[in-house]
Chain A
Amino acid sequence: MNTQTDNNNLFADQPWLDPERSPFVKIQSLTKTFGSFTAVSSVDLDIYEGELFSLLGGSGCGKSTLLRMLAGFETPTSGNIFIDDTDMSNVPPYQRPVNMMFQSYALFPHMSVEQNIAYGLKQDGIAKNDIAERVENMLTIVQLTQFAKRKPHQLSGGQRQRVALARALVKKPKVLLLDEPLGALDKRLREQTQFELMNIQEQLGITFIVVTHDQEEAMTLSTRIAVMDQGRFSQIGTPTDIYEYPETRFVANFIGSANMFEGRVVENGADYVTVKTVGSDLSFYIDHSAAVRENTAVWVALRPEKILVSATPPEEQSQYNSVEGVVDDIGYLGNFSIYKIRLANDKIIEITHPNQSRPKHGSHLAQWEEKVYLRWADHSPVLLTK
């Protein structure tokens, strides 16, 4: 009894780790082709109840096609989708327990905000009083009560976005699909709305599946992210997993920025790997083991913010994880600066450094053409074989 509760608590925030939970949305070897073009290529995916799951990728990676197959607008070429253990193959869009928030919002221009939100409930044949009550409730949640009688064209972008959300949520779907939910908003509004969206999701407990090309959006919102490339998943994991432990070069480059080094494995120890980079003296010591043979070609990714810079040489010389270079360029972004450091072999390394003091109270880290010494911790570099 006690262990059961413990187990529940243990996996409350991470249902995908719980071996006893069965997935709420189950996608099995799903493929969609358009003529000779394969948009989605045999993907498998499990999404659990209450998750806020993001499908992240560039344009044309197949993320929208996947979402449209979940909504029922596209018929899979092969494979299956199960939602709450029901096969969706022969279920038309209007009978699926999912609702979608469209990228363009797709609000009905001839209906008021109220009528837009009530539309889905009317189709279900719900009693008039109940409709009015649920619409009223929804308007409160999205803070649009005083705009109930307005037409969509009389609203701002942010308000329209909230109407679209309310219209999809009011039907209490089992899964809410969101296609670039914040894409049409400006930066400031987007940041604010991200948190609103998370609050609403937590409040209602509905499973959200979000399609986005904006990695920041995916990182802030999601419980888990699936990074998509050319119709396949490159990696599925929590935002931290994806950022700190990318599994492929594509993921490392797509999420945030990374300095990429090509090299060969020199030593593969029990709990460490050393890599010598191609065309320079730089060597990496990586504090985790990997299933690679010695002398195989690998890549090492190093995040710009994990590199320490100093103008003076380090006290103890190490053959690993340090290099010297010259400041090639400085980009001042206010809260932090980007430094481009040119190494001896002309390779440029990008570094970000927070501007913790004002220039008057201590000058910037380094000036143009100044010689600097770079080093990083043994746990910072990521070894990539793909």
Chain B
Amino acid sequence: MRRYLLNRLWQSAVTLVLATIVVFAGVRALPGDPALALAGEDRDPESLRAIRQQYGLDQSWLVQFWQFVSHAARGDLGESIRTGTPVRSMIVSALPVTIELSVLAILIASVIGVGAGVIAAVRRGRPAEWAANALALLGLSVPHFWLGLMAILYLSVALGLFPASGFVPFFTDPVANLHHLILPALILGTGLSAVIMRQTRSSMLDALSADYIRTAEAKGLSPKAVVGKHALRNSLIVVVTIVGLQLGALISGAVVTERIFALPGFGKLTVDAVFQRDYPVIQAVVLVTATAYIVINLLVDLLYSVIDPRIRVRGEA
């Protein structure tokens, strides 16, 4: 197990280095000269040169890359070209909002999705399965921005149950924080739960037709143990994979939901930075997103080996 862990950590580190190179090269490959963007109206060669010198843009790419990496390693991600705010503090304030929203949404999605998926598989061909399938289809087809708008319209504006927008940090007021996040999390979560439900259902159907399920039944185990333990444990690999992928996607891309509910999260930061050609911010945002993906993937892989002992051994071999 330890060897497997070290192996995976090493792979993650390599991936992170590669991601850093791609981010760096990608931003440099974007059309447009950051010095020109910075200089604005004032485009005389003298001030352009001054700007290039200030940001190290006159150095070779190799030197620039080294500076970027060595600064990033110290947590210094530069400053926003637009506002002069350190990028690091922008990320530190935006990321927790998105992480909290994403984790809440994925929790909601998992509970609904796995629950409905198991029921649909066990009650195959009966009304409960049709209901679950119909709801899943609805969840997949209804765009969540529309669902979000409707929720704001009816639940927030008309009934006043939830705040329509805004955010309160968790440590300022945990109750208000949850109150602000629960609606967007529900909107995000229900959409995702449909995907989880369908995956859970199909992998549960596979598991339920396996020989070891017949063995479990022949042992006289209760239906709860047969389904909830023997079958579900074998289906979890698929579920964990899909949940991991979705969590990664949420952290980088809860853009629409964050917009609708005016949450000062990562999605909003990304969109603003792209529209304003704020290169240091874009660079940092992409790097953080890549890191989030790598960390989530690592966690998913580690979970695999907890769920299925066969993976543990393969990694050790």
Whether chain B is bound by chain A comes out as: no
* Partner-B contacts on A (CB < 8 A): none
